[in-house]
Each structure stands twice: as structure tokens, then as C-alpha cells.
Amino acid sequence: MSLKDKLVSSFFAFEESVDVNADVHKVRNQAIKNFEEKGFPSKKEEAWKYTSLKSLLKKDYSLFPKKESDIDYNSVKKYFIHDIDTYTIVFIDGIYSSHLSETTHDKVDACLMSAALSRPKFKPIIDAYFDKVAPKDGLNSLNTAFSKEGAFINIPDNTVSDKPIQIINFSTGNEANLMLQPRNLVVVGENAQVQIIERHQSLTDNEVLTNSVTEVFANKNAIVDYYKIQNDTASASLIDNTFFEQKEQSVCSVHTFSFGGKLTRNNLSFFQKAERINSILKGVTIIEDKQHVDHNTMVHHTQPNCESHQDYKGIYDDKSVGVFNGKVYVDKIAQKINAFQSNNNILVSDNATINSKPQLEIFADDVVCSHGCTIGQLDEEAMFYLKSRGIPQKEAQALLMYAFANNVLSSVKIPEVQKRINKLIANKLNVKLGFDL
């Protein structure tokens, strides 16, 4: 039986066991029909031309963990941003971990998706926002059909979350092969602000495939600052689908740091629904061996007087493969748009590969839009300069690569996150840099 057939045949028993409101049941039933019709994406689709899921889909995944796993905090402390006070929502093999989490309903809601889907008090929010911005393609529909657990974050109007919110998904390896489908919903009200840190982390070498969907709604004057830390094991694969809908004068930024994993696919889309919106997408990728990271981004400008900024840096070693497929759409009425898109890459090894495809589709005539990409190796003159001043070649390479990625790090607004990413970069470069990390 194929994985697709297994998922479809498992749906109805799963659906009967899930406690959600009646309207959500209808959404989930339609979603499984969409998945049955569209299935998993293949390389025949232009958006998946350079990324194949074929080898991943041959595994016999466990779809529902057989038992709840327990993890000692000290054994996973290093995966938390633990040097700041945060609300924390932790899942172990897809199941909520109360002893590792700190949720809240005081001023803001940082809690469980299962609670939001089943409790009447949250029904108006679910009806207004759940499954409203995620496209109805195969992967998103699959997640919607099996959406049971994840993070639910609601920031009311005129409220600033007093702490950042961490969402952490652990997989223990208790199942030989495990498929996870976390579903997150973030609603940020007018004049509200929130900072979110998300991580997926496997704790063993057993295969895990995560198909995650996150919907983020930023209302008028809202500010959303989102960080994704991807530094998983060589047996973990992640398909991360994140969709933003922005209203007037909102500012949303996503920083994606991809340092590890077997296959990582980041589908990141912004839909601007009003004027004076700013969308910021930045990323740093440093991978090696046969790792594969694919950034598929899209910003859709539908209204005038808006901005978007995309800046992705990649460093690729050994036989690693990188993909950047960035799109900017500007509708006919979206005049006076300022859209910037850049993808710059360094190939450390002759066997590494990068496929870069920045795209602009502009139907307005009064805009400032630019895009471009570079693919090359380290500057030989800069290397010579550093070596002539007594810096060994290894450290010189590390310094140049750090400088290459630094302009992305400079826009990180949480100092502790910036410090953590600096350390991860130093570890990836396998060198101690001569300044504070």
C-alpha cells in the first residue's frame, strides 16, 4: 500500500476520534478529498522541479504514536532558547508535553490547537481564520485533514505579548519511521505585537517526516517577528508550510536558519491585503554532506504603497544541494510598490549544487522592483589579505563566510536568538571565531 493510500484509508477512523466543532469536521472532510485528488507533489510540477519527495514517500511511517513519550528537561535543554523567559509550547511525537511547556491565557492565548478546535470560546476565531490562507494543495490539505495538535496563539487588539513564544516539536524515535503533521494558528490583533521561535528536533537517527502548516494573520498595525531554527539530524525531513495574511500597516518578518536535516523544504508565502504593508523574508542556509534545503518563497502585492524585502544567503559544502525559488507578484492596481529580492550563494565544494530562480511578475507600471542572485566561491583577494596578516586559511574562510551571512543576522531582534545562531554558525564552520558568540 502506498503512503497516500494508507493516509486516505486511515482518515475516517482518525476523524471519528477527534473532538472538533462541526464546521471543522466539514473542512477536514473536504481536505482529505483534496489530498486524494492531488496527492503529493512531484518534480513534474515547476515549483518542485529541483526537490523530489520520492525516496521519503517509500517509507512505512507510523501515523499515530502508540504511546506518549516522556523526556527529561535536562536532556533537551540545549534545544530551548533558555536564557530568556518565554512562553513555551512543546510537543513530543506530536503529543503535547505539559511538564516541558508553559502556556497562558493571561492577556494573550498561547496554548493548544486541540483546545481551540474543540472549545466553544474559541469558535469565532477558528471560524474566521482556520484554513483561510493556506492554499488547498496536496500537502496543505493533508495537514488540514489530520490537524489535531499544534500551537494556537491569539494576541488581542492593542496587546504586546510580554514574552516571546517558543514552539518546539520533538521526535523521540520510539517509532521506527514517524510522520508528524503539526498545525499552528497565529492571530495577531490590531496594534498588537508578538515574537515567535519555532523548532523541529529529532532526538534519534530514526526516520521522521514532518509536514507542518502554520497560518499567521496580522491585522491593522500588527507586528509579527518569527524565527525558524532548523538544525536537525541527517535522518529528519521537514516540509514547512507557512502562510501570512497581512492587513493595513502591518509589519511581518520571518528569519529562517537552515543548518541541518536530510531534506528541508520551506514554503513561505505572504499575502498583502491592504496598503502600507511591509513583508520581510530573510534566511541563512549552511549545509554539507548530502543535505538538501529548498526555499520556496512568494510575496503577493495586491494593494498600492507596500514593501517586501527578501534576502537569502547560502553556503554549501560536500554534495549538498540548495534551491531558492523566490517569487514576487505585483497586481495591476498595486502601484508604488518597493520590492527587493536577493539570493547569494557560496559553493565551498565543487560537488555542491545550488539552483536559484528569483522571479518577478509585475502588472503595475509605477513600481521599484529588483531581484538577483550570485553563485560563486570565496573571494581569493580577501583570502590572500587575511592570510598575509597571519590568519590561517581555515579561520580566514570562516571569517569570510561569517561576514557573508552577517547582514541577515543583524536584523534579528532577540539578542539571545542572535547569540544562538552565531554559535550554530561557528559549529557548522567548525572553528572558534575570535569574538563573542
Q: Tell which wins on pLDDT, 183 or 395.
A: 183
The CA dihedral of 58, 62, 63, 64, to the nearest 10 degrees, is: 180
Which is nearest to 385 in space by CA: 400, 366, 375? 400
pLDDT of residue 383: 67
190, 218 in Cβ contact below 8 A? Answer: no
End-to-end CA distance of the chain: 50
Q: Please report which helix (H) or strand (E) contains residue 143, including its range.
A: helix 138-145
Q: Is 104 exposed, middle or buried (0-12, 13-18, 19+ CB in 10 A)?
A: middle
The pLDDT tens digits for 107-140 are 999 999 999 999 999 999 999 999 999 999 999 9
Give dist(CA 147, CA 376) in Å, integer. Answer: 42
323, 267 in Cβ contact below 8 A? Answer: no
pLDDT at 437 over 50: no
pLDDT at 35 over 50: yes
The grid coordinates listed for 104 are 497562558
Instruction: Give the chain's mean pLDDT.
Output: 93
pLDDT at 364 over 80: yes
pLDDT above 70 as % of the chain: 97
187: three-class secondary structure by DSSP:
strand
The pLDDT tens digits for 273-320 are 999 999 999 999 999 999 999 999 999 999 999 999 999 999 999 999
pLDDT at 436 over 60: no
* Helix, strand counts (H, E) of the chain: 9, 21
268, 295 in Cβ contact below 8 A? Answer: yes
- The single-letter code of the amino acid at 15 is E
Largest CA distance in the chain: 71
- State mean pLDDT over 254-266: 97
The grid coordinates listed for 269 are 508565502
Which is nearest to 408 in space by CA: 189, 257, 300? 257
Give dist(CA 238, CA 368) in Å, integer. Answer: 35
Q: Is 192 exposed, middle or buried (0-12, 13-18, 19+ CB in 10 A)?
A: buried
At 193, is the pLDDT very low, low, confident or very high (cuts 50, 70, 90)?
A: very high
pLDDT of residue 224: 98
What is the value of pTM for the model shown? 0.95
203, 191 in Cβ contact below 8 A? Answer: no
Q: How long, in residues, is the chain?
A: 437
135, 166 in Cβ contact below 8 A? Answer: no
Give dist(CA 256, CA 237) in Å, integer. Answer: 16
φ, ψ for residue 435, nearest 5 deg = -155, 170
The pLDDT tens digits for 215-232 are 999 999 999 999 999 999
Distances in whole angstroms, Cα of residue 137 to Cα of each of 117, 140, 144: 22, 6, 10
Q: What is the DSSP string of 226-283?
A: EEEEEE--TTEEEEEEEEEEE-TT-EEEEEEEEEE-SEEEEEEEEEE-SSS-EEEEEE
- The single-letter code of the amino acid at 1 is M
Give dist(CA 322, CA 362) in Å, integer. Answer: 26
Distances in whole angstroms, Cα of residue 128 to Cα of each of 39, 132, 133, 268, 295: 27, 8, 11, 21, 29
Ramachandran bin of 90, using left for φ above 0, alpha for ψ from -120 to 50, beta for the remaining angles: beta
Give dist(CA 245, CA 302) in Å, integer. Answer: 11
- State mean pLDDT over 43-70: 90
pLDDT of residue 312: 97
Distances in whole angstroms, Cα of residue 107 to Cα of each of 122, 153, 355: 15, 11, 45
pLDDT at 333 over 90: yes
- State mean pLDDT over 247-270: 98
The pLDDT tens digits for 371-407 are 888 988 777 777 676 777 777 777 787 778 877 877 7
- State mean pLDDT over 404-417: 89
Give dist(CA 121, CA 116) in Å, integer. Answer: 8
For Cα atoms 215, 266, 37, give the angle at the middle one, nearest 5 degrees: 70
pLDDT at 434 over 70: no
pLDDT at 148 over 90: no
Cell numbers 516571546: residue: 164
259 DSSP 8-state letter: E
The grid coordinates listed for 210 are 514532518
pLDDT of residue 104: 97
Beta-strand relationship, 109-112 and 151-155: antiparallel
Give dist(CA 314, CA 425) in Å, integer. Answer: 12
339: three-class secondary structure by DSSP:
strand
φ, ψ for residue 147, nearest 5 deg = -70, 120
Q: Tell which wins on pLDDT, 251 or 406.
A: 251
At 432, is the pLDDT very low, low, confident or very high (cuts 50, 70, 90)?
A: low
